[in-house]
Amino acid sequence: MNKVPINTPISKILIANRGEIACRIIHSAKKLGIKTVAVYSSADTKAKHVGLADEAFYIGEAPAKDSYLQSQRIIDVALQTNAQAIHPGYGFLSENAAFSQLCSDNNLIFIGPPAQAINAMGLKSEAKVRMEAAKVPLVPGYHGDDQSIERLKQACIDIGFPVLLKASAGGGGKGMRVVESLDGIEEAIAAAQRESLNSFSDSHLLAEKYLKNPRHIEIQLFCDQYGNGVYLFERDCSIQRRHQKIVEEAPAPNFPDHIRKAMGEAALQAASAIDYVGAGTVEFLYENGEFYFMEMNTRLQVEHPVSEYITGQDLVAWQIKIASGEPLPVCQEDLAINGHAIEVRLYAEDPNNNFLPTAGKIDQFIYPTESTHFSLDYDKGIRMDTGVADGDEVSPFYDPMIAKLIVWAEDRQGAINKLKQALQQTHITGLTTNVRYLEQLISLPSFADAGIETDVKHSSLKQEGFDTGFIEKNAKAIAEASILSEHDQRLHQIFCAYYLFQQRQYTNSDPSTDNRIQSNDHHSPWNSALGWRLNAGYEDPLKFHLAESDPSVELTLTAQFQPLPSGKQLLLMDGQQYQIEDLTDSTSDNETQTLSLHIKSIHIKGINIETKALDCHIKAQVLKHNKHIQVHNNAGTSLFIPLPRLSHHHTEEENEQGLHAPMNGCLTEVKVSAGDTVNSGDILVIMEAMKMEHIIKAPHNGIIDQVFFVQGDLVDEGSELLSYE
């Protein structure tokens, strides 16, 4: 039992987490006049949450197992700083029953449910047994103790394909595999067990019928220490990749009121069955008017801001007050849905490479100027929750989420429109992210329609595509949305060329090399990096290629700028001629510029300039990071890489001599040695990065020549792992 008195005022909280999570908790604690203590690893010495807290203490090396999962070190810091409570955030120790009990044993308030409630829901298999007894509807499946591959294989056969394998001890898509048939089932079971063991120190799996077209609906609930409970309505989290959410919204679009009420009551029934206290989230699968219990997360969720927006409540403040012994501030009848909120998760990942996580330094993080941070502002309705800033590193040791962008409006279409604008104003340079992908995704008509049709016969709503398979079903449409029209591509090329022209003219440097010339006389022709000629126009050869294209294919532009008597510029590029007038009314730094240009496509007859097809005023934002140039406007984004006049690319033959790490990470298994013969498709190396497992297979038959790393080594993205013939 909890040794802490039921009514204990809290004046200082230790936050056993990092990044955006810690910053979010600090925000609410400050509003309540509560001091905060941060902890940090060697990777987070300069992190935002460290600076925001009143005190901060180092607890270990970068790997979470050596820092943020060190329970006793965290307890020691809390006692040392006279904190009365520990908030675990979400992730790390937030659903660790042993840590909750350790807090209690040291007379510290754990801002979360009691240990017995965490235990009851901590293992999905045991949770399903309890929910079955509580008459909460379940998906048919197997959650037994026999975890042999043969028993799990037989369970899959008995359930009927397709089957979903899930880690009993965790969530977030870790240790999860969809098994379509007997083909490859043993490998899938072994991989799920391995990933579950690496992520949660527990290889226990459960198997359940895989619903092909379900929506993922979750209920936010709160319970106090006096037996009171409320649900704060639902969130739709169906838009996922790799079984992980990237778009969440509240309320669920086109969701029947009677299902909302029934699901909310079922969630409270589940919480009551385990004597729950605090914030919790009960997740359901919903298909064709029926819903099934999936799991309960005994913590606050990443997507809680959308529930805050539609209810007007600060849920972290609720957590703190309930943990200190206060009753719930409202009853169910006091709660109502106000407007619509949507959240998207901004990840360091490459959507064009199966969403593999990326890591590295954030050169610039530009977001809407009207956005607030961690708080509700209904006038602006734009919120950016983040724990990073310009110059910060996205570490391979932790989850690759950079920020959450949340918007609110009076209705769903208004929220979608506002989110589009906010994403268009958001730029993260220095590493690959999913920002533009999210913009393309929410712009789809199928997202706006929410894919729902009324089924009058059953007085419910029938789903038509708006489900957990939405991204896979719309992959082609999303890809096509990312392709600029020929017209927009040309405009982006002109903006890139004009930006390069400006850089060479005004900064005396070649953006592809940053080699500066020696003269400081701004009136001297030798001070210009342009191809100045006496009594002739100057030529400025510009070589660059699109970052999304094959690096071996150069998009070579030869641009010749000539001044016109009007003060405008004449641009000749790839046989086309353009008159350019710079309408920019403000100066920017060399890294970020918003250029407004009037562009005319023309041809010359003697001294007469005649307008052809293109004649437009257009604005685009141009960002430089490293040696890349990003051009972005409402039509989309293009990333250009300026090349030196003499450049070389590896040939296909050179690239095929070895296999390279697709991301920063740790090698969990190296399955081959020098001299081994391998066949196409054989597993060579298994990597883990940002809590995700990645299997590297042989692209073709061959003999291993050299292996450059061993199990446990940390490798950088692009490192050659092995070579073979």
Helices (H) and strands (E) in the chain, counts: 18, 41
SS3 readout for 395-411: CCCCCCEEEEEEEEECC
Which among 207, 210, 206 is positioned nearest to 168, based on CA atoms? 206
What tokens does 137 get? 């509807």
What is the helix (H) or strand (E) element at residue 115, kind and residue range? Answer: helix 115-122
How far apart CA 120 and CA 505 sit, in angstroms, is 68
What tokens does 376 get? 């509700």
Which among 120, 103, 69 is positioned nearest to 280, based on CA atoms? 120
Residue type, position 314, single letter: D
Which residues contact residue 658 at a Cβ distance below 8 angstroms, ignoring those fewer than 6 apart? 720, 721, 722, 723, 724
Q: What is each CA distance from 17 to 41, 180, 383, in whole angstroms?
A: 10, 38, 21
How far apart CA 411 and CA 367 sit, in angstroms, is 23
- Residues 398 and 468 sit within 8 Å (Cβ to Cβ): no
- Residues 64 and 397 sit within 8 Å (Cβ to Cβ): yes
Q: What are phi and psi of 665, to 5 degrees?
A: 175, -170
Residue type, position 151, single letter: R
Q: What is each CA distance from 584 to 104, 532, 596, 641, in whole angstroms?
A: 62, 25, 5, 24
Across-strand partners of 537?
none
81 C-beta neighbours (distance < 10 Å), count = 15
Annotation says 412 is catalytic: no
DSSP state, 44? G
Catalytic residue among 24, 299, 436, 504: 299
How far apart CA 444 and CA 165 sit, in angstroms, is 31
Task: Please return the burial class of 585, using the count of CB atoms within 10 Å of its CB with bins 0-12, 13-18 and 19+.
Answer: exposed
Place of tokens 């708006």: 466
Which residues contact residue 237 at a Cβ distance below 8 angstroms, ignoring those fewer than 6 apart? 216, 217, 218, 245, 247, 248, 283, 303
Question: Within 13 A of 610's CA, how many CA atoms are on the CB side?
Answer: 5
Across-strand partners of 578?
571, 601
SS3 label, residue 6: coil
How far apart CA 498 and CA 307 sit, in angstroms, is 45
Largest interatomic CA distance in the chain? 93
Residue type, position 476, single letter: K
Which among 174, 169, 170, 212 is positioned nearest to 192, based on CA atoms? 174
How far apart CA 441 and CA 482 sit, in angstroms, is 9
SS3 label, residue 684: strand
- Residues 691 and 172 sit within 8 Å (Cβ to Cβ): yes
- Residues 212 and 224 sit within 8 Å (Cβ to Cβ): no
What tokens does 499 get? 């930006």
Supply the residues annotated as catalytic: 299
